[in-house]
A and B are shown apart, each in its own frame.
Chain A
């Protein structure tokens, strides 16, 4: 039941995207997020989606695997769509009781939904193709300038990498405890919301206890290996930009510029008005 959640999980495969320097991927993802908010029309988002699809193809990760992992986002997505559809004022298309659906409402809903989906898939592509270790390494390296103003960059990235590393462990642990309690007749799948919330106590108590135990063990293990923070710490694998990273950066630059240019495309609203105009 918990196996389906793939947020923050690494998917091992041998692809160009996997081999890219984590810094390149971080920069690329950041640019992608920024540009998603700069794009004005649905056309632009469609093109961005197409580009994203090409990148997905390049990662060799099956698309259904990525889509399945976003299940938890769907509820949020539904909220956005429904709220936008009902709340945005404009030309009324349908009116049933107090529910009014406007052209602008539908347009905004579709636009927001697309933006959200692209955003989530774009971000998960990074975590899917980058191991947590690489990711935090990259982040630490990128944020290094902030050290000058006394930001504890190393500590932050270490905390992040531990947190990421613990996601699958805690997930597995949850699965195990749920099974153990099911074996004792616990029922997580039926009853009212209150009953279900109560049914989670036998899972949460052991889970929290085990998380503390693990944290304790980890701290001891780190100390036993003389971990003392950032000072004087060297790396086994220094990050180095390769030729492919420079090419990737060029692609990111061109892609972002191109997507930004879509702002100047003829607005889709006109096309949209023309289509919905046929039905009203």
Chain B
């Protein structure tokens, strides 16, 4: 059940002096069970891209398909009313299958209790109450929230806990794709590792596909299987972390960078140390150095 983008373009405020091309002729496929990282500097078009996956923004040009089914085109000859209904139904099903967690998702909390807030998504899907209650418990466990927090007000929680509640609220819709826009922004290192570690484990256990937007090269190098680098509305690189981070020069030009250990690896190589592979993490560096000095 892949998401496919075919020659997708998007322009904000077309025809105004503020008009801006956010995406230019992007073709991409997000496969099932993948852990993908999207990197790009601010304003590169990555936010537009992920909002499109969820059907919140309709491409100005091009087509986007989920499971081979287009988001916006329907068989011809449908009446206007029917079309509107079919469109609404399709978007609902897309939003169930592609869960999107916005930046600072805790800002969207509104209910009286944590449980009710997590139930908002599944309730909108029209699920029976027992099913909703089961999902609330399940998702709270998934993101590592203690069951006793259930009846607390979400506004009493700490920043990291609030964010977990918001993520659980999206997980409760049981999506096949989980799209996260900088889920660790503004968290301390422990909160960051906690959330990303949870997501990685979740992805391995439930086989959900995760699309992670991040500014931290370390995080994408550590957690993802595939990296997509976006620059100026275009896809510049798409491949395994090791392949993408070989292009250190280009990435720097795009206002990005490479993980610190990769940088160190390149520098050591320049100095003549026989490191064969691109290094992504501290553990890999340690391993490589041990090999070099054979100890």
Contacts and interface: CB of A to CB of B under 8 A. Distances in A.
Contacts of B13: 3
Given A179-B56, A180-B108, A187 B102 contact: no
Interface stretch (A44-52, A96-104, A198-206, A216-224): A198-206
B22 to A, nearest CB: 14
Interface in A17-47: none
B143 interface: no
Contacts of B109: 206
Interface string B88-106: 1000100110011010010
A158 B107 CA distance: 28
Contact of A184 (B51, B121, B155): B121
A205 B155 CA distance: 12
Given A176-B102, A190-B88, A202-B120, A185 B125 contact: yes
A185 B121 CA distance: 6
Interface in B11-25: 13, 16-17
A189 B99 CA distance: 20
Interface residues of A, number: 23
Interface residues of B, number: 26
Given A180-B102, A206-B109, A185 B96 contact: yes
B170 interface: yes
Interface string B252-281: 000000000000000000000000000000
A210 interface: yes
A189 B100 CA distance: 20
* Max chain B C-beta neighbours (<10 A), residue from A13, A182, A183: A183
A177 interface: yes
A202 B110 contact: yes
A184 B102 contact: no
Given A190-B88, A201-B110, A210-B107, A183 B17 contact: no
Interface string B1-41: 00000000000010011000000000000000000000000
Given A186-B120, A209-B155, 10 more contacts: A3-B13, A176-B102, A179-B51, A183-B54, A184-B121, A185-B96, A185-B125, A206-B107, A206-B110, A209-B107
The 6 A-B residue pairs with the shortest CB-CB distance, nearest first, are A185-B124, A205-B110, A184-B121, A180-B108, A183-B100, A180-B102
